[in-house]
Amino acid sequence: MDILKPYLLFLGDVPDDLAAKTAHGIVDWRREWCVGQLRLPGCKADCGLPDLTLEEAKARGARTMIVGVVNAGGRLPSHWVGRIVDAIEQGFDVATGLHRRLASIPEIAEAARRRGARLHDVRFSDIEFETGKGVKRPGLRLLTVGTDCSVGKKYTALALEAEMRARGLNAEFRATGQTGVFISGRGVAIDAVVADFIAGAAEWLSPANDPDHWDVVEGQGSLFHPSFAGVTLGLLHGAQPDAFVVCHEPTRARMRGVRHPLPTIQDIIDRTVIEGQLTNPAIRCVGIALNTEALGDDAARALIAETGERHALPCCDPIRTGVGPLVDEIERRFPRGGPA
Amino acid sequence: MDILKPYLLFLGDVPDDLAAKTAHGIVDWRREWCVGQLRLPGCKADCGLPDLTLEEAKARGARTMIVGVVNAGGRLPSHWVGRIVDAIEQGFDVATGLHRRLASIPEIAEAARRRGARLHDVRFSDIEFETGKGVKRPGLRLLTVGTDCSVGKKYTALALEAEMRARGLNAEFRATGQTGVFISGRGVAIDAVVADFIAGAAEWLSPANDPDHWDVVEGQGSLFHPSFAGVTLGLLHGAQPDAFVVCHEPTRARMRGVRHPLPTIQDIIDRTVIEGQLTNPAIRCVGIALNTEALGDDAARALIAETGERHALPCCDPIRTGVGPLVDEIERRFPRGGPA
């Protein structure tokens, strides 16, 4: 799926910015793709973009209206439907990450058919993936992995892409979740793929490439998460990473949504190497990314230093300190021209 | 999904018995559920059941017609569609394991609506699973795992159920693949579940039960298969097995469909324990099931003895020698009243 750019971000009338998390993610990483936001009366979210009507957005060149919000229950409220139909009538494509397909709503399906608009439901995949082949592909790959869900795997991957590109490396973010798909304009929500095709979808997402090209693949879940480890393992096998970065939130006590305690960073390093060797025997850890948002600056910096020392690996907080040390390690371990 | 019994097996006009593998599996394990078979002119498969017309099958009490065959490409030939519609008109439910939903064929959908027939597409799941919780459930569970796909995991699980029941144990086969679903009349094709819900589907499949009740869960894939290990891991985490049996085909050199060599039995034991401990710290291997079909009797029996000795575990071929030694070990390790 290739989502046409630039975007108009539809924020509906959601009660807070948390509900507009996806829209905020897009603006954080791809401000240049966003011509503006469309808010309904009562909307309490604000992405800091110009408020535009459909006509104004169209005049500024917007091609796709992104429904970058979720309401309670993940459903599409009926008073949003009319506005989506209006957008289609104006010539927009529409994209959402909701749990219901846009085309399952008759008015939207009918309008899209009439106008030839493309509807992108990024939580669903209409691609017919093959099963994974496990054959090593040319090109370099990095995967972000985590001690848990929601510990900064997407953010770290995007920060790595930005820093690698700033240094002239040929790096490309590969999205595996809905927000990531909007941010990169392509990708696949890997947790929505049929189980037989997890590894195959990851292979599709990150095809053979130039020997010095880096795919920076957004990780999902955790090998130690009892709900989602299957997704994590299939993604690891399909992505065939040469390098991985462990993401961790140091103040969290239990894994999200379950009673299990968090694994340690070392647990994740060891298990990722053991499992990843199946499709890439040369897999290695190149660093640790801590999400220290919950800590004061002194405590955070001390923890970053101590964690790096304990594992003998570069460690950073992508937001607080940047990912420079991780990219230093990548450049050291994989000098241009091939792995060291 | 509960498929009403007894069954009429529809064999179409397939060119050989391999194409009727599913139907043969049903007859092998649930002969008593099958009133007969329906074959079209030219059919070269034969399950050894009485050839019946729809009317005769109805008169003998059949409730569901199972399309127990696949044609090349997995599609439903148009000349089968008419016969399926006839069956619905006669009052049958219809079940298939094909890659296309029965209801996607207008004549079938229309007939089913008119007659109130239930259409079972066991390759698809319409159940809204929850994500896995990872909480230990009461009851005992055994999972068959394998060095590869198609090494006898379903057969071993069914043989274990039969032997355990013969000894008065409260054991129940839990199907995770399409043939298994027909054989047990319920279950879920776990590889067809959306990736986020693999573990959750396995938890649903094997709910809390009496402390001395055994779920004998059919395994899928292999933790060392680069295409399907994600499914295998999610199933392992959701099934929370107390005991597992390793299934192996000793003459196979490469894993099915890929270039990878087979892991050893010991690889599978070690990795299954490491990964399985996440949701059941007491997981243990209770034996090995070899598929020695390709060996002569002397060589097979020598290999069975040697393999058991090398791993200090009971070893058998479920077909050649029966699974008695495995159930001996289960009874020894888990005496009625709880684990030893």
pLDDT digits (tens, 9 = 90+) for B318-328: 999 999 999 99
Is any Cβ of chain B less than 8 angstroms from the Cβ of A129?
A: no
What contacts B246, CB < 8 A, 6 or more positions away? B145, B146, B147, B265, B268, B269, B272, B285, B287, B288, B289
pLDDT at B128: 85
pLDDT tens-digit map of B262-275: 999 999 999 999 99
Predicted pLDDT at A339: 54
| Cα gap B289→B246, rounded to integer Å | 6
**CB–CB contact A132 B224 (8 Å):** no
Q: Give the whole-angstrom CA distance, residue A26 versus residue A318.
A: 17
Chain A residues whose CB is inside 8 A of the B199 CB are: 226-230
Report which secondary-structure segment, H or E, holds B145: strand B140-146
Q: What is the mean pLDDT of residues A318-331?
A: 98
| Confidence check: pLDDT of B1 > 70 | no
The enclosing H or E element of B284 equals strand B284-290
Contact A43, A14 (CB under 8 A): yes
Cβ atoms of A310 and A303 closer than 8 Å? no
pLDDT surpassing 80 at residue A125: no
Q: Looking at residue B339, what is its pLDDT?
A: 54
Q: How far apart are the first and last CA of chain B?
A: 36
- With the C-alpha atoms ordered A114, A118, A122, A127, is the resulting torsion angle positive or negative? positive
Give how far B337 is from chain A: nearest CA, Å. Answer: 28
Closest listed residue to residue A140, CA positions, set A57, A220, A239, A23:
A239
Average pLDDT over residues A10-21: 93
3-class SS of residue A320: coil
B238 has a pLDDT exceeding 90: yes
Over residues B298-305, the mean pLDDT reads: 98
pLDDT tier, A96 (very low <50, low <70, confident <90, very high otherwise): very high
3-state class (DSSP) for residue B320? coil
Q: What average pLDDT does the segment B187-213 reach? A: 95
Residue B178 contacts by C-beta under 8 Å, 6 or more apart in sequence?
B22, B97, B122, B123, B189
Chain B partners within 8 Å of A135 (Cβ) = 258-259
Cβ(B185)–Cβ(B124) below 8 Å: no
DSSP 8-state code for residue A41: T
Say if residue B71's pLDDT is above 80: no
Interface check for A133 against chain B (CB to CB < 8 A): the answer is yes
Predicted confidence (pLDDT) at residue B93 exceeds the cutoff of 80? yes
Asked if the peptide bond before residue A6 counts as cis, ω within 30 degrees of 0, the response is yes
Residue in B195, B232, B260 closest to A231 by CB? B195
Determine what percent of chain A is predicted with pLDDT higher than 90.
88
Sign of the CA dihedral with B237 first, then B239, B241, and B245 last? negative
Query: Could you tell me which residues are beta bridge partners of residue A39?
Result: A12
* Contact indicator for B333, B284 with CB cutoff of 8 Å: yes
From A131, A230, A275, residue closest to B257, measured CB to CB: A131
* B residues 193..212 contacting A (CB < 8 A): 193-196, 198-200
The pTM score is 0.93
| Cβ atoms within 10 Å, residue B160 | 27
A25 contacts: CB under 8 Å, gap ≥ 6: A154, A179, A182, A183
Q: How high is the mean pLDDT of chain B? A: 95
Contact B8, B64 (CB under 8 A): yes
Could you tell me which of A248, A221, A216 has the C-alpha nearest to residue A234? A221
**From the candidates A124, A126, A227, which should be mutated to test the interface with B, based on the most B CB atoms within 10 A?**
A227
Name the β-bridge partners of B287.
Answer: B245
Give the whole-angstrom CA distance, residue B215 versus residue B198: 17
- B260 → chain A, closest CA residue: A134
Q: Average pLDDT for residues A8-35, to the nearest whole number?
A: 94
pLDDT for A72 beyond 80: no
End-to-end CA distance of chain A: 36
**Whose CA is closest to B8, among B44, B41, B39, B45?**
B39
- Strand bridging mode A213-217 / A140-146: parallel
DSSP label of A324: H
Rounded mean pLDDT, B94-103: 89
Nearest CA in chain A to B236: A230
What is residue A76's predicted lDDT score, i.e. its pLDDT? 85
Give yes or no for a cis peptide into A77 (omega within 30° of 0): no
pLDDT, tens digit, 9 for 90 and up, residues B186-195: 899 998 899 9
User: Listing from the earlier edge strand, what are the strands of the sheet with B64-67?
Assistant: B34-39, B7-12, B64-67, B93-96, B119-121
Residues in B touching A200 (Cβ below 8 Å) = 227
Which residue is closest to A200 within chain B, CA to CA? B227
pLDDT at A284: 98
pLDDT of residue A126: 76
Which residue's entry shows tokens 């295409």?
A: B227
Lowest-pLDDT range, A266-275, A296-305, B98-107? B98-107
Percent of residues, chain B, with pLDDT higher than 70 = 98
For residue B336, the model assigns a pLDDT of 78
A138, pLDDT greater than 90 = yes
Non-local CB neighbours of B134 within 8 Å, separated by 6+ positions: A226, A227, A258, A259, A260, B199, B237, B278, B279
A277 and chain B in contact, CB less than 8 A: no
Q: What is the three-class DSSP state of B215? A: strand
pLDDT surpasses 80 at B337: no
pLDDT band at B73 (very low <50, low <70, confident <90, very high): low
ipTM: 0.91
pLDDT, tens only, A73-91: 667 888 999 999 999 999 9
Closest CA to A252 of A146, A156, A110: A146
Torsions phi, psi for A141 (to 5 deg): -135, 140
> What does the pLDDT average to over A202-224?
97
- Residues forming a β-bridge with B243: B142, B284
pLDDT at B43 over 90: yes
Say yes or no to pLDDT of A338 above 60: no
Give A-chain residues touching B260 at CB under 8 angstroms: 134, 278
Is residue A188 within 8 A of residue A231, CB to CB? The reply is no
pLDDT in tens, B118-174: 999 988 877 889 999 999 999 999 999 999 999 999 999 999 999 999 999 999 999
* Chain B residue closest in CA terms to A221: B196
**Rg of chain A taking only CA atoms, in angstroms:** 20
Contacts of B99 in chain A (CB under 8 A): none
Q: What's the angle, vertex CA B221, arms to CA B219 and CA B223, rounded to 5?
A: 100
Side chain identity at B235, as an amino acid letter? L
Tokens 């892991």: give the residue: B263
Q: How far apart are CA B247 and CA B315, in angstroms?
A: 10
CB contact under 8 A, B237 and A231: no
Q: Cβ B229–A229 below 8 Å, yes or no? A: no
pLDDT exceeds 90 at position A100: no
Q: What are phi and psi of A37, to 5 degrees?
A: -125, 150
Give CA–CA dist B246/A110, Å, rounded.
Answer: 53
Q: Which amino acid is at B93?
A: D
Structure tokens at A316: 């950073």
Q: Which of residues 16-35 of A touch B (CB under 8 A)?
A: none
Probe site for chain A from B130, B227, B233, B279 (most A CB atoms < 10 A): B227
B127 Cβ under 8 Å from any chain A Cβ = no
pLDDT at B20 over 60: yes
Distance, CA of A312 to CA of A330 (rounded, Å): 15
pLDDT reported for residue A58: 97
Q: Write down the H helix ranges in chain A.
A: 21-30, 54-59, 78-89, 106-115, 153-166, 178-184, 198-205, 229-239, 265-276, 297-311, 324-333
Rounded Cα distance between A233 and B12, Å, is 40
Looking at residue B338, its pLDDT comes to 55
Whole-number pLDDT of residue B32: 96
Which residue type does B237 have?
H
Tell me the shortest Cα–Cα distance from A72 to chain B, in angstroms.
Answer: 18
Q: pLDDT at residue B59 above 80?
A: yes
Report yes or no: A232 and A191 within 8 Å, Cβ to Cβ: no
| DSSP secondary structure code for residue A263 in this structure | P
